[in-house]
Amino acid sequence: MNRLLPIAICAVLAGCTPPPPNAAKDAPDASGAAVLVQRVNNEAYARAREAAAAQWIAATYINADSQFLAAKANERDLAYQADLLNEMRRFQGIELDANTKRSFGLMLSGRTVLPPTDSKDQAELTELSARLEAAYGAGKACDDPANPATCRDLLQLSNVLATSRDPAALKKAWLDWHDTASASRSDYQRFAELMNKGAQAYGFKDTGDLWRSGYDMPAADFAAETERLWSEVEPLYKQLHCYVRNRLNGHYGDAEVPKTGPIPGHVLGNMWQQDWSNVYPLVEPFAGIDSLDVTAGLEKQGYDAVKLTRQAESFYTSLGMPALPELFWERSMLTKPADRDVQCHASAWDMDMKGDVRIKMCIVPDEENLRTIYHELGHIYYYLAYHGQPPLYQTGANDGFHEAIGDTVVLSLTPGYLAQIGLVDAASESNEAIINAQMKLALEKVAFLPFGKLIDQWRWGVFDASIAPSSYNSAWWDLKKKYQGVVPPVARDESAFDPAAKYHVPANTPYTRYFLAHILQFQFQRAMCQQMKHQGPLHTCSIFGNKEVGGKLWKLLGAGASQPWQVTLKEFTGSERMQADAVLEYFQPLNQWLIEQNQGQSCGW
């Protein structure tokens, strides 16, 4: 399937008018377009290095100066992009070769933000971007603002949600963090307005239309595709929701968790209810049977941030992939510094498109961080694999691919693998142990699916004005209830701005990629396990140590965005369509068990 976006530029950029020719730029032709693409690729290395350095400092040294430098770097980048996109308009209606056509498409639709035409708007947009990210990174809840000892940051508040079983403490921690986001409301409203001005200047209806156009298919078709995928996995999610609600009701009582309807958000062990792993002790199907206490294993073996990262690296090298570059170990931020504010949200960085790759993360040696570092190294190895491609192709086949690679590796952290590396005791193969292991993973993977979808559902509504500024918060909770079956622990009015309590909103990172990744990872896993002729259920398969599969995976990574994602997907899995049935196949034992357990319950909300 070779369904590229239309690249007769003014057909895409509805209503645009090419600038008048001059003596140096008369009669643009296909060769001139190819020269432009080559120039952009040549300039990309230096531009990427400067921009990444500014952003890295802004994330790892949060202060007024670093935010100023980041904003200025973004401002220069937007001005560069504005000039570039304006130059692209000259080639409207010209027949382009396949490489130039795809490169033009990526320059246009592969962007999160298109610059407004006015330089003042560009400057304001970058200032708002830096301010929103800084506010999130520096967010703290203080019982007494005059006494720093009473202040708690996101890590501390999240730890309360993860470990406490005191409803009052859970509710306070949840409210404290969400209230830190309220001040960002007006900044975000203006930020969205300016992003729309940029998108509309280049022919898109709004920023959501821009984001949906970057998937080698019409934007409307992509929105329908996400609905199709969700409809296929929704029944499994509802069975999980029903079971977890019943168990939490049994623990907390009707006053805290009702027997029917949505679940209050503060009792699910995670600030955004996107991962329910922390309530596993309360919902464990078979108590004491292969509890898989990975955190205890990490503590027993004296893991720290570096040892944990080395362990993750060893998985990738077991597949035949290279060891991480020395610069990775010299320049990554793996632990939280004691002397300054930083953004602890885990992220992988490609600093120069040549090999300076890094992780930014505040690692503590527990199971959640173990899975996170395996995931983040998936990005790092994607970067390393496609560094041989021209810069415009140095990205994932689509953004869901980039997120899915590390998650696919996490699926191979089976009880058998964890036992092999000494983090848990020898794994039992009893039915009870299987259900326990599947439950633990479903609390992470299946619980995430509706959350992965709803964030961009909300932003698409903000961008197309179907969600007005006066209903930002109510619309957010309407979607949380619709998709997740979750409500806030107390009523939240429009004085709050709860979407900004999630990093990806103030950081302006599209989120549908994570939803797609949670579909693709199971499809990738099934394909690899078929390639290695795995015998047994899909959930028992680990690709650890299989260099043949690793070679095929490396080839997928190395293709980058050089061809439509449908082609890359078909080459690797045999299908050009994303397939949610692999999720259902993986969790088949648990799904059947949940249906039996939920008999007689009033499921849904």
pLDDT at 592 over 90: yes
Helices (H) and strands (E) in the chain, counts: 25, 6
Query: Is position 155 within any domain?
Result: no
Query: Is position 143 within any domain?
Result: no
What is residue 428's predicted lDDT score, i.e. its pLDDT? 64
What is residue 78's predicted lDDT score, i.e. its pLDDT? 82
Across the chain, what does the average pLDDT equal? 92
Domain of residue 74 covers 9-133
Could you report the per-residue pLDDT of 34-64, keeping only the tens digit for each? 999 999 999 999 999 999 999 999 999 999 9
Query: Is position 71 within any domain?
Result: yes
Question: What gap in Å lies between CA 445 and CA 443, rounded to an integer?
Answer: 6
What is residue 17's predicted lDDT score, i.e. its pLDDT? 41
| Average pLDDT of the residues in 246-268 | 97
Query: Is position 527 within any domain?
Result: no
What is residue 26's predicted lDDT score, i.e. its pLDDT? 59
Bigger pLDDT: 112 or 110? 112
Least confident of 105-119, 167-181, 563-577, 589-603: 105-119
Query: Is position 448 within any domain?
Result: no
List, in order, residues 6 or more apart from 277 with CB less than 8 Å away: 269, 270, 367, 368, 440, 443, 444
| Average pLDDT of the residues in 572-582 | 96
pLDDT at 4 over 50: no
| Average pLDDT of the residues in 569-597 | 97
Q: What is the percent of the chain with per-residue pLDDT over 90, rounded to a whole number? A: 82
Environment class of 426 (CB within 10 Å of its CB; exposed 0-12, middle 13-18, buried 19+) = exposed
Quote the number of domains for the chain.
1
Query: Is position 337 within any domain?
Result: no
pLDDT tier for residue 74 given thresholds of 50, 70 and 90: confident
Question: What gap in Å lies between CA 280 and CA 439, rounded to an integer?
Answer: 8
| Average pLDDT of the residues in 3-24 | 38
What is residue 427's predicted lDDT score, i.e. its pLDDT? 64
| Average pLDDT of the residues in 103-119 | 87
| Average pLDDT of the residues in 451-473 | 97
Contact (CB, 8 A) for 426 and 297 = no
| Average pLDDT of the residues in 15-29 | 51
Question: What gap in Å lies between CA 336 and CA 365, rounded to an integer?
Answer: 13
Query: Is position 289 within any domain?
Result: no
What is residue 241's predicted lDDT score, i.e. its pLDDT? 98
pLDDT at 384 over 80: yes
What is residue 21's predicted lDDT score, i.e. its pLDDT? 43
Least confident of 6-15, 217-226, 278-287, 462-471: 6-15
Q: Which residue in this structure is represented by tokens 């941030």?
A: 305
Query: Is position 94 within any domain?
Result: yes
